[in-house]
Amino acid sequence: MPQPLSERNEESIRRLGTLVSLPEEILREFNNSKNTRIYKPGQVIFHEEHRPHGVYCVEKGKIKLTKYTPDGKTYIARIAKAGDLLGYRAFLTHEPYSATAEVIEEATVCFIEREIFMQALQRHPGFSLQLLEQLGSDLREAENRARDLAYKSVPERLAELLLAMRESFGEPLPDGAVRLDIRLTREELASMLGTTVETTVRNLTRFKQKNLIGFDKKDIILKDISGLAEYIPGV
Q: Comparing 51-60, 95-104, 132-141, 179-188, which segment has the lowest mean pLDDT? A: 132-141
Q: Encode pLDDT of 198-230 as tens digits.
A: 999 999 999 999 999 999 988 999 999 999 999
Q: Encode pLDDT of 122-176 as tens digits.
A: 887 777 787 788 777 877 877 777 777 778 899 999 999 999 999 989 999 999 9
Q: Cα–Cα distance between 139 and 216 in angstroms, integer?
A: 35
Q: Are residues 25 and 103 located together in one domain of the fold?
A: yes
Q: Quote the number of domains for the chain.
A: 2
Q: Encode pLDDT of 85-102 as tens digits.
A: 898 888 888 899 999 999
Residue where a domain terminates, one of 149, 181, 200: 149
Q: Are residues 109 and 181 located together in one domain of the fold?
A: no
Q: Are residues 109 and 69 located together in one domain of the fold?
A: yes
Quote the pTM value: 0.80
* Residues 180/166, Cβ–Cβ less than 8 Å: yes
Q: Are residues 170 and 220 located together in one domain of the fold?
A: yes
Residue where a domain terminates, one of 125, 149, 173: 149
pLDDT at 4 over 50: no
